[in-house]
Structure 1
Amino acid sequence: MPSKLTTDLLDVLDTLAGGVHAGFRPAHAHGVMYSGMFAPTPEAATLTRAPHAVRESTPVTVRFSVSAGVPTIAENDAKGSSPQGMAIRFHLADHVHTDIVAHSHNGFAARTGEEFLEFLRAVAASGPGSPEPPPIAAFLASHPAAKAFAEAPKPIPKSYASQKYFAMTAFQFTNAGGQSQFGRFQIRPHAAIEVLTAEEAAKKPTDFLSAEFSQRLAQSPVKFDVMVQLAEPTDDVTDATKVWPESRKQLKLGTVTITARVDELAPEQRKVIFDPVPRVDGIDSAGDPLTAVRSEIYLLSGRRRRTSGKIE
């Protein structure tokens, strides 16, 4: 049975999306899928014994998305597009996989699921007709990490391929020798990082990110490096609101090469539920409470999506 926290989070996400959109995710509802391969670096095995770190290559499915839970949201929507999402599924064997779930902002608004619920409820209560000052103002005033997240610039990118993506929670990586290190995934594009001004984004077609990526892919494969930012002893590995310094060492786990668009309406793709918990030997949660909460809500919403009779 899902916890009350999980069902409450799903309920408020539905509220923010204007209701349940049958067959769609409650957040990052609008997205596109691609296929490709992951090739690890020789250094990957020094960090983790996970299968995709020690094999020559592993097939992947990649999904890009915009933030809102509204499937018809425009990709250039000033409020609903950012941060964009990037999820990677590593296909290890039949019905065996591990995922990375990331978004285009380094950091998060809440320390725990309960705090995230409070944040979302404050947002939901602060729409048209809400009291002045709106509830979100009081919440942000008493939660500096959420305030920093809400006020941080989140420009719309020129392309899904022209920005970094960050897995918000940390993981414990263990190699074949039993040595463990903590770190966070970062996904770096091979393309130059480019974002749009608000004026430039407003002039774009509503599906410009999907269209641009297809055009880019028609010219050549699109590549991203999977990096792991390694923690130092002073870094809190259980708090997603804490952004580690850029000076932290980064190890290149490998490269994802995207080669083709996937029909996201195909039966197998329609069933995909990405999981923030790695569930693979050699990569474990670092103990951040958000990791398990996110996994539960992905599973609950995914099951609802699968049984809705209309799965997108």
Structure 2
Amino acid sequence: MHKLLTAAEAVARYVPAGAVVGMGGQNINRCPMALVHEVIRQGIGGLTVVGCNLSLPLDMLVAAGLVVRTEQGTGNLERYGTLFAWRRAVERGEVGVGDHSHLAMATRFAAGAIGVPFLPTRSLLGTDLLADLVAAGVAVESADPWTGQPVVLLRAMTPDVAIIHANRADLSGNVVIEGVTSHEVDMVRAARATIVSAEEVLPAGAFADRPEQVTIPEAYVSAVVRQPFGAFPTSVYREYDFAEPEIKEYQALGRAGDAELREWIAANLGASFDDHLKARDPAGTLRNGLAEQMGRLV
């Protein structure tokens, strides 16, 4: 079935207000920026955002006032600093937080992916995080019935919608991701719907003679969006590197305050992600340089 939609169509159809949104990408790698921009354009609020490292896209959603809760392993841009809008919103009590380890979050997605209500892990044992998750009804301390050793039972996570960015997809929704996938494959399998933006969209059946390349099969994908540079300013392995000046500029605004971030968002989103790219890089010089830089790396 033909699953190609525009970002506006896909977000309007599959991201309702109040949704639990599974976020793809990690830190400054392959974040679904084009799809997040569209969520902000449409003003879809009351969101709970879940993932392992919730980074730049989460901060933009929080700065736009669209997030009420996050459940995650961490929220930062590593050497570029914390997520300032998110941190301030948490400190003000405007956004609730369910802190996990990365492994604990991945375990919850894995449980959702295979359709069981929980999975056991030893992650979180001996930490303060565990007590908070037990109180929230997300985790239960138990014992291995064979050895009696302590384990943690973690409740399955099944997002209403997962949003990810990929290298390639075909019209049927078969998806190819180059490099690290982290939690994304299980997150997509656990989600009720999935939107995938991709650098390139190929005809249906493009991977029929090379099925081993498919990272996520079409059965788990609801919509495909063609969007070159759809992760900008984060990177896509084998496609382009991350745009450090853009990330540093955003972080400087984040340190300055929420009003500065809202002004930046209003001034830079444009009517589409292509408009955003043209505004930030009118001649394409930056994007071409990032592609060349990635070419030298791989």
Q: Same fold (TM over 0.5)?
A: no
Greater helix content: 2
Alignment TM class, shorter chain as reference = under 0.3
TM-score by length of 2: 0.24
Give the number of the structure with larger relative contact order, counting CA–CA contacts within 8 Å between residues 6 or more apart: 1
TM-score by length of 1: 0.23
